[in-house]
Structure 1
């Protein structure tokens, strides 16, 4: 569609917004929109369509993986508020098998947790959100602060640094430092935290160059796969006493890529 440029005052030029788009995004006078510049293109994004968005999940009677997948999916989708309802009479279960090393650091693996305690442990793994209200049969998870492109870029940079660290530690482990293999597993969990955050930002705001948003989704997905492969290699190396020279060189080449 085309819009005419209107002069207002001496140096101000304005254009009107399409009324159908304004109604669809529920915009009103005084609301703010996000404008990003790419060469000769301006992309106008209505933040009101994501700001304040919320979803309600009912996880009563769900298994551990289902609870985790529901909460994580809502987080990655970009909701500002996630209300999780559960049955307070659900029996306690041993949840430790669903967690990775960083969570196990503060949870006794033999301890049985209730559903609210499990959800708290899951939220502790997510970046930028906290439980702000908790009752007998539900809790409210809410985003703290505003998600920005700067935070996305910082998280993406951190992902590359973690992958580089994992590759270097794999090489050290081959040379005899087996204690690093457990750390690699822990770092993969930290990697997943930043990857989930990046997906959340892309779904909530898009990439700063909006046309590259699908590409960034693919890049984040592939980086997650790289981290998972390094974690898998660490598990294999823990069982092997010797690694071939070509394998050693391949890992060094991969490390230099990051």
Structure 2
């Protein structure tokens, strides 16, 4: 659908909105609309209903990753009020910790013997999407720095676990915004996939940090793979913000260099092989992020 801009006095412009959309959203003269800017797109939406979307979930075990997956995906889907049924205090405490670390603006507002209610209380506005995405990229860079310090047997500047928590918190919020408002419009699915791959790439750095405690002297090849993985990440970030497809060509070149280095190292028995495994997966995930990113930039 296309509409022509109509020039108004004072340098402003107006555009006619489709009558069908006005009717379907029960809008009338004087009603307010939400306007969000996303790159070259201007996203217009009716103001959401004051009624919060609700759902129920039930915790079935004491496995932290199981509870985390359930509550974070309920949050990402866009629900504002969640009734959570649990079996014991151990489950509740795990849930409580996850909410604190992973769900921006959500709090437990009520607790009964067998359930609690988790609700959106102080969530940032959806216009903060770009700011929190930028924070996510900055924290991934911090995680690279910490990993480099450990590879060089230096004292790390920050606890990698705290950095990881911030990354996951920002990622959860960004995906929630996509679900709630289809912020990226026609590129919503591609943007979601892009975020998934970027976060999976940094997760490999997180898992690598968990085993980088021994005083191992790493080979130049291993350090080289790490440095090239970082280069891919920075190219992906730069391509996203500068909207330059040509930068993604360099990503493919570096990925081929990493493949050749990994093949050589893995043919030898080495205590570094587990390190190489995580670095290879890290590079692969960031490399794959260039595919949906191409669609976002186009």
Question: Is the TM-score greater than 0.5?
Answer: yes
Runs of 5+ in structure 1 lacking a partner? 93-112
Quote the residue 1:59 is aligned against.
Answer: 58
Question: Partner residue of 1:217?
Answer: 192
Residue 78 of structure 1 corresponds to which residue in structure 2?
A: 78
Q: How does 1:1-258 map to 2 (within 5 A)?
A: 15-19=16-20, 21-22=21-22, 24-25=24-25, 31-36=31-36, 42-48=42-48, 52-59=51-58, 61-64=60-63, 65-86=65-86, 90-92=87-89, 113=90, 115-125=91-101, 126-145=103-122, 147-177=124-154, 180=156, 183-207=159-183, 209-239=184-214, 241-256=216-231, 257-258=233-234
TM, length-normalised to structure 1: 0.71
Pairwise CA distance, 1:240: 6.3
Match of 1:96 in 2: none
Report how far residue 217 of structure 1 moved. Answer: 1.5
* Secondary structure, aligned partner of 2:199: helix
Counterparts in 2 of 1:176 and 1:66: CA distance versus 1, 3 Å: closer
Tell me the distance in 2 between the aligned counterparts of 1:252 and 1:191.
21
How far the C-alpha of 1:212 sits from its partner, in A, is: 3.5
Deviation at 1:139, TM superposition (A): 2.2
Does the 8 Å contact 2:151/2:212 carry over to 1?
yes
Question: Structure 1's 38 and 170: CA in aligned 2 closer, same or farther, altered over 3 A?
Answer: closer
SS of residue paired to 2:159: helix
SS of residue matched to 1:132: strand
Deviates more, 1:138-147 or 1:159-168: 138-147
State TM-score, norm by structure 2.
0.62
Greater Cα shift, 132-141 or 190-199: 132-141
Q: 1:56 to 1:30 in 2, by over 3 A?
A: farther
Q: Which runs of 5+ in 2 are unaligned?
A: 235-298
Q: Deviations over 1:128-185 (max 9, x none)?
A: 21122333333222223454344211211111111111112212112213x5399224
CA distance 1:121–1:144, shift in 2 (3 Å): same
* 1:89-146 Cα deviation digits (max 9, x unpaired): x345xxxxxxxxxxxxxxxxxxxx2x33332222102112112233333322222345
Aligned-partner SS, 2:54: strand
Moved over 6 A (4+): 2-9, 38-41
Measure, in 2, the Cα distance between the counterparts of 1:185 and 1:127: 17
Larger helix percent: 2
Shift of 1:61: 4.2
1:14 Cα deviation after fit: 6.0
Residues 123 and 28 (structure 1), Cα distance of their counterparts in 2 relative to 1, 3 Å cut: farther
Aligned Cα RMSD in Å?
A: 3.7
Higher relative contact order (CA 8 A, sep 6+): 1
Which is strand-richer, 1 or 2? Answer: 1
Q: Secondary structure at the match of 1:180?
A: coil
Q: Is the 8 A contact 2:55 2:79 kept in 1?
A: no
Q: CA deviation at 1:37?
A: 5.7
